[in-house]
């Protein structure tokens, strides 16, 4: 599936905006809006952090009502988390103001926030931003919206994919932000965990349950696989918004068309997730950790996450140090049971460990192989068919710098 330049306004019938409300000291854009005149079905997943932010609680309530939606308002610069009843009222007031200006009902608007936890929302700035965003809505607004949801991201992340359903072109566009507080652990039944906001729009005409199914399957092949720092945010949100403007015959759950649509969503979400890791805070290397031969997929995931979140592995990768000892060490303390003597490990396609011991490739060769922007680790535990892949990154001076600085 080819990933194309594009974004949330690539599908028919969507407008978007990105404006400066004034939440960020830097003066950078900090409010995005997505709007469809046609009513939208929305599938969504949210953080499983117990300290779910006010907008997450608000959206969950709105989605539980089962209605249709026309707009999403997203602010960066303040998370509206740990803000109690006042925070919830602020989310509602934001939705109400957008609804009033758009001529729709309040419960047809969803809201998201990202930024610092525990700071009351400056509602004059938020409402001022809504007033700027509505008139700025445009069919070309996808790029501006992708810019406005950024926090410590260094670049916007926005793409589209296209498929054909019943002779009609169906487009899925999407944008995401990430950078820090990025951790996997998403399962269809368990909503995403990571400081990420991700919005996918589509003009597909599709059954609600097929839409939800596509979102859940895409999770497993995208956000499900990533970790930057193992920290899981209070505000994570992944939405798939469908307005039916493509005019295709309705995609039914379980059909070949649903499978194709799911493939498109997964491809787009996968690319966005990958870009999120590549643009993680201070990242200098992208590392794919493939664990195979585990007792179960779940065990493979546990091992892959132990490696991906190991401070010692991540700093070694930063240094271009093959140091396979740290990798097998992390596997060894992960809690998963296996026989160390059966373990094989390849670094960037070169044998590093055979039967739990050094494979004999000179360290200088391994060092050269891992001193690249992207490489993979293939760890075979030799004791089953379980497998899992995690996408992660190194731990750099820049990560420490960004996060030791106050107010990020």
Query: What's the sign of the alpha-carbon dihedral 140, 31, 213, 2?
Result: positive
Cβ closest to a copy of itself, residue 186 vs residue 268: 186
- The answer to whether the beta carbons of residues 269 and 200 sit under 8 Å apart is yes
Cβ closest to a copy of itself, residue 99 vs residue 194: 194
Query: What's the sign of the alpha-carbon dihedral 277, 278, 279, 284?
Result: positive
Cα within 13 Å of Cα(201), Cβ side? 34
The first and second tokens of residue 30, run together, are 């900090």
Cα within 13 Å of Cα(267), Cβ side? 18
Is residue 20 among the annotated active site residues?
no
Per CB under 8 A, the list member of 59, 229, 299, 305 interacting with a copy of itself is 229
Minimum CB distance to a copy of itself, residue 405 (Å): 6
Minimum CB distance to a copy of itself, residue 72 (Å): 23
CB under 8 A: which stretch of 129-137, 209-217, 259-267, 333-341 binds a copy of itself?
A: 333-341
Minimum CB distance to a copy of itself, residue 363 (Å): 8
Residue 355's CB: how many other CB atoms inside 10 A? 13
Site for a copy of itself, residues 34 to 93, rule: CB under 8 A? 48-52, 79, 81-84
| Binding flag, residue 333, a copy of itself (CB under 8 A) | yes
**Which member of 171, 195, 292, 302 is catalytic?**
195
Measured distance CA(206)–CA(277) in Å, rounded: 30
Measured distance CA(223)–CA(188) in Å, rounded: 11
Measured distance CA(351)–CA(169) in Å, rounded: 46
Output the 3-class SS for 352-407.
EEECCEECCCCHHHHHHHHCCCEEEEEEECCCCCEEEEEEEECCCHHHHHHHHCCC
Quick one: which H or E segment has residue 300?
helix 297-308
CA angle 68, 37, 273 (to 5 degrees): 70
Cβ closest to a copy of itself, residue 128 vs residue 332: 332
Per CB under 8 A, the list member of 103, 341, 349, 362 interacting with a copy of itself is 341
| Binding flag, residue 332, a copy of itself (CB under 8 A) | yes
Cβ closest to a copy of itself, residue 175 vs residue 395: 395
CB under 8 A: which stretch of 7-15, 136-144, 266-274, 397-405 binds a copy of itself?
A: 397-405
Per CB under 8 A, the list member of 105, 260, 328, 383 interacting with a copy of itself is 328
| Binding flag, residue 183, a copy of itself (CB under 8 A) | yes
Give me the active site residues, please.
195
Residues that bind a copy of itself (CB under 8 A): 48-52, 79, 81-84, 116-120, 180-181, 183, 193, 229-234, 309-312, 315-316, 318-321, 323-326, 328-333, 337-338, 340-341, 353, 355-358, 367, 395-397, 399-407
């Amino acid at each position: 599936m080819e990933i194309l330049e594009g974004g949330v306004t690539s599908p028919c019938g969507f407008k978007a905006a990105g404006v400066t409300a004034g939440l960020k000291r830097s003066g950078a854009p900090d409010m995005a809006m997505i709007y469809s005149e046609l009513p939208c079905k929305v599938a969504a997943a949210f953080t499983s952090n117990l300290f779910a932010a006010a907008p997450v609680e608000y959206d969950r309530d709105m989605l539980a009502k089962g209605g249709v939606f026309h707009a999403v308002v997203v602010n960066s610069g303040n998370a509206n988390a740990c803000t109690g009843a006042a925070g919830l009222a602020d989310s509602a007031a934001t939705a109400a103001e957008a609804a009033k200006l758009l001529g729709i009902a309040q419960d047809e608007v969803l809201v998201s926030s990202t930024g610092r936890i525990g700071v009351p929302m400056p509602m004059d700035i938020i409402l001022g931003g809504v007033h700027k965003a509505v008139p700025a809505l445009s069919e070309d607004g996808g790029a501006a919206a992708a810019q406005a949801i950024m926090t410590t991201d260094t670049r916007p992340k926005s793409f589209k994919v296209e498929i054909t359903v019943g002779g009609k072109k169906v487009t899925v566009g999407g944008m995401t932000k990430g950078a820090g507080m990025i951790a996997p652990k998403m399962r269809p039944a368990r909503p995403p965990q990571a400081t990420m906001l991700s919005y996918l729009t589509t003009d597909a005409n599709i059954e609600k349950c097929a839409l939800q199914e596509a979102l859940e399957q895409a999770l497993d092949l995208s956000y499900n696989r990533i970790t930057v720092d193992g920290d899981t945010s209070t505000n994570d949100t992944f939405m798939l918004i469908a307005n039916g403007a493509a005019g295709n015959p309705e995609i039914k759950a379980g059909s070949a068309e649903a499978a194709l649509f799911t493939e498109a969503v997964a491809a787009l979400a996968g690319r966005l997730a990958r870009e999120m890791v590549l643009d993680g805070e201070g990242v200098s290397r992208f590392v794919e950790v493939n664990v195979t031969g585990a007792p179960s997929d779940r065990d493979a995931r546990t091992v892959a996450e132990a490696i991906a979140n190991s401070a010692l592995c991540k700093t070694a990768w930063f240094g271009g140090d093959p140091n396979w000892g740290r990798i097998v060490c992390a596997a060894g303390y992960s809690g998963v049971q296996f026989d160390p003597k059966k373990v094989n490990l390849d670094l960037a396609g070169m044998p590093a460990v055979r039967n739990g011991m050094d494979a004999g490739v000179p360290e200088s060769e391994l060092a050269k192989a891992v001193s690249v922007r992207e490489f993979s680790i293939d760890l075979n535990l030799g004791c089953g068919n379980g497998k899992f892949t995690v996408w992660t990154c190194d731990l750099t001076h820049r990560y420490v710098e960004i996060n030791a600085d106050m107010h990020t």
